[in-house]
Chains A and B, each alone.
Chain A
């Protein structure tokens, strides 16, 4: 592969790929349209965050695409009369995107049981988009029950069957197993990037890492896999020089997407974000999912046993507070930034339990809220700078 170093020691390939990915991330609906035109008869299945067993959609020969609201530049005109103002912004802007006709290339929408908003959103979608196949999946909350896996197998089969009614096909277990292995590989590559960032955060920023994962929600996994390979190779050539920043963990932005400028600003304000829960669903399993036997069962078992501890799921074998403490320790972080979407109950409830655990362990934290449409970050910037200074000063 060709790589060039510019005068500052930048890897041109890496930067070029990132800026290309960023362009796509910033116009996600064009990407869907492109895919649709290319595939002609293919079915595109939009998924609302946080987690969906994308392998099943992919294995059914359909194209799973992450739908994450309208980003920072959508005007809400229609959705406001359908969803009250005290509901998180992503719920409203995702609907707006649909009402504005931007999802005309999407054939189905899947809403997972992450919260009460997502649950009821599925009903709003059913009424407003009668031509769209709307699916709600109820992911289990009882991680200890003997029957949770059986239940989830049932649920996953239901999803596959329902999706396949769109084109009269039948789900093929073999191809779902193949999808699992592709997703496994990509998840492993993302884990590698996460490790790299924790080691050399100056050479891989959180904004860049975010763009990479987000790009992966918009393209077929085989394309994503190639891009990841190139990135993994070229990122090693980077040498941007260490800054005087504080290592922190970013927590709470797992569903509604923070503005890109805000992610940039957090680092500008003096932080190295060494771990986060951004787009966590796409990195959901901390180990590979088995590719032998029944794909439904493998994915269901993985959901119960291998999931990333998350505010949208009751704890299984690992508590969320312990997991946060582990992340702090493993990444040698000096503090935690709680960055919840405004009105996001799962994040706001968890904040209380998580910050209590941090207080008990004398770990400093800062909490602020964001909205996807936010354009001015002055107050967040000031708070983060003060936080950084207080850590530098006291340690």
Chain B
């Protein structure tokens, strides 16, 4: 009886997240039949709010790819794409998607409706352009490239902002033509209002990991908790989701519990997870009672924990700012500063860099970052490699050896210091 009262909200975030995603996917499945419009776009710096004004069902091929990874079907899809000419050395997310299309667009989440519009929200990844060029050809669908300049100066230049905003205006015309729905600024403001509420709650959850012990794994759990803010942002359900999730976290704080029974090491994780081996990867860290207190992958779609919020009073500008404001669109100086601040602010013991072959947007610069963190910042840093989509690049034995050796030495260091 006591236990029940104690953990009223345990698991709520996961359960409700599944329910929301199931509903979202079933909307996508039935859209074509119902004659409803579908837009495909990317996660990074996405402009979901604007597309919602036009009642598009939103499909994020990256999310499909990660679902296929987690459900262990990505390997087959990737092979199918390689059969039609894709190299073994290009991004596995793209190949997964091509394989999925070649299989009738049927994935573990159901069948996807084809796109009426492809919006290549090109933030931080050049491969996005290649990906949607291929889809445009396959589906014969209209392709809009929303070009978002890389943050080469540490922040968007005036020219960047003007360029993105005027592209957004051009996109509005395309959306009106595609859907027959008029652009409605009030509606957009309302949607953005929901975004802000969810963003505030999400930041509270992320920052809860400053507690010791941390109530929340900011990588292994965050990658699930973050789904609604990236795919359903702007909806009321998304706000409700983070309200519930926050209750769950608050309860954990109250009872000083967290993702692992006894937190021994706090780390910052840089890089995406190996989706096809997600569980085993997590186990390798759990074994050492490691909690990830901050991660960069959870910022891959957008970054709020340094203050950014959508702003309903400046709808298009704030959407444009958001489009620039995602992790892989940051230059390496910004990325390193961000990681460094996580290490300091979340009292982390070490940095773990997971380099993935598929994603050059993420991985070029990671090896250099290892040097920076070890030599300039004196932070114990572990560098491991596999892939986020392709199961063939994960060698569990090798991974275990590296991880064990690293935490053994951290443990040793601690004993010596005491």
A→B interface (CB under 8 Å): 81-84, 86-87, 91, 113-117, 119-124, 126-128, 135-138, 140-148, 150-151, 154-155, 158, 314-315, 342-343, 345-346, 348-353, 355-356
**Additional 12 contacts, C-beta under 8 A, given A83-B367, A349-B130:** A122-B152, A122-B331, A123-B333, A123-B335, A144-B170, A147-B166, A148-B147, A154-B159, A154-B162, A315-B133, A345-B127, A356-B85
A113 near B166: Cβ-Cβ < 8 Å: no
List 5 tightest A-B contacts by C-beta distance, closest first. A123-B332, A154-B159, A151-B163, A120-B364, A349-B130
- In chain B, positions 361-409 with a C-beta closer than 8 Å to chain A are 361, 363-368, 371-372, 385
Q: Contacts A148-B163, A154-B158; is A351 near B150 (CB within 8 Å)?
A: no
Q: Which residue of A lies closest to B170 (CB)?
A: A145
A154 near B157: Cβ-Cβ < 8 Å: yes
Q: Contacts A84-B366, A345-B91, A348-B89; is A115 near B134 (CB within 8 Å)?
A: no
Say yes or no: is B102 at the interface (Cβ < 8 Å to chain A). no
- Name the distance in Å between B389's Cβ and chain A's nearest Cβ: 14
- In chain B, positions 162-180 with a C-beta closer than 8 Å to chain A are 162-163, 166-167, 170
In whole angstroms, how far apart are the Cα atoms of A34 and B170 in the complex?
50
A345 near B368: Cβ-Cβ < 8 Å: no
Which residues of chain A come closer than 8 Å to B130, judged between CB atoms? 345-346, 349-350
B→A interface (CB under 8 Å): 84-87, 89-91, 94, 122, 125-127, 129-130, 133-134, 137, 145-147, 149-150, 152-153, 157-160, 162-163, 166-167, 170, 331-333, 335, 355, 357, 360-361, 363-368, 371-372, 385
Residue B126 contacts which of A81, A115, A154 (CB distance < 8 angstroms)? A115
B162 near A116: Cβ-Cβ < 8 Å: no
Q: Contacts A82-B371, A116-B361, A343-B89; is A353 near B167 (CB within 8 Å)?
A: no
In whole angstroms, how far apart are the Cα atoms of A353 and B157 in the complex?
34
B332 near A124: Cβ-Cβ < 8 Å: yes
In whole angstroms, how far apart are the Cα atoms of A147 and B126 in the complex?
20
In whole angstroms, how far apart are the Cα atoms of A349 and B135 in the complex?
12
B89 near A147: Cβ-Cβ < 8 Å: no
Which residues of chain B come closer than 8 Å to A128, judged between CB atoms? 368
| Interchain Cβ contacts under 8 Å between A and B, 8 examples | A84-B355, A116-B361, A119-B150, A147-B163, A147-B166, A151-B149, A155-B149, A346-B130
B145 near A141: Cβ-Cβ < 8 Å: yes
A123 near B89: Cβ-Cβ < 8 Å: no
- Name the distance in Å between A179's Cβ and chain B's nearest Cβ: 22
Q: Which residue of B lies closest to A137 (CB)?
A: B152
- Name the distance in Å between A328's Cβ and chain B's nearest Cβ: 18
Q: Which residue of A lies closest to B363 (CB)?
A: A84
- Name the distance in Å between A324's Cβ and chain B's nearest Cβ: 14
Residue B365 contacts which of A123, A147, A151, A348 (CB distance < 8 angstroms)? A123
B127 near A349: Cβ-Cβ < 8 Å: yes
B367 near A82: Cβ-Cβ < 8 Å: yes
- Name the distance in Å between A361's Cβ and chain B's nearest Cβ: 15
A345 near B332: Cβ-Cβ < 8 Å: no
A314 near B145: Cβ-Cβ < 8 Å: yes
In whole angstroms, how far apart are the Cα atoms of A349 and B332 in the complex?
25
A81 near B89: Cβ-Cβ < 8 Å: no
B159 near A127: Cβ-Cβ < 8 Å: no
Which residues of chain B come closer than 8 Å to A86, judged between CB atoms? 89, 357
A151 near B160: Cβ-Cβ < 8 Å: yes
- Name the distance in Å between B43's Cβ and chain A's nearest Cβ: 16
- Name the distance in Å between B8's Cβ and chain A's nearest Cβ: 45
Residue A314 contacts which of B133, B332, B365 (CB distance < 8 angstroms)? B133
Which residues of chain A come closer than 8 Å to B360, judged between CB atoms? 87, 115-117, 120, 345
In whole angstroms, how far apart are the Cα atoms of A138 and B372 in the complex?
25
- Name the distance in Å between B364's Cβ and chain A's nearest Cβ: 4
In whole angstroms, how far apart are the Cα atoms of A140 and B162 in the complex?
13
Q: Contacts A120-B360, A142-B167; is A352 near B84 (CB within 8 Å)?
A: yes
Residue B364 contacts which of A81, A121, A147, A154 (CB distance < 8 angstroms)? A121
Which residues of chain B come closer than 8 Å to A349, judged between CB atoms? 86, 90, 94, 127, 130, 133-134
In whole angstroms, how far apart are the Cα atoms of A150 and B355 in the complex?
37
In whole angstroms, how far apart are the Cα atoms of A128 and B368 in the complex?
9
A116 near B152: Cβ-Cβ < 8 Å: no
In whole angstroms, how far apart are the Cα atoms of A3 and B89 in the complex?
50
Q: Which residue of A lies closest to B393 (CB)?
A: A86
- Name the distance in Å between A228's Cβ and chain B's nearest Cβ: 33
B126 near A146: Cβ-Cβ < 8 Å: no
B163 near A150: Cβ-Cβ < 8 Å: yes
Which residues of chain B come closer than 8 Å to A81, judged between CB atoms? 367, 371
In whole angstroms, how far apart are the Cα atoms of A197 and B119 in the complex?
42
Which residues of chain B come closer than 8 Å to A345, judged between CB atoms? 89-91, 126-127, 130, 360
Which residues of chain A come closer than 8 Å to B364, judged between CB atoms? 83-84, 87, 91, 116-117, 119-121, 124
B372 near A127: Cβ-Cβ < 8 Å: yes
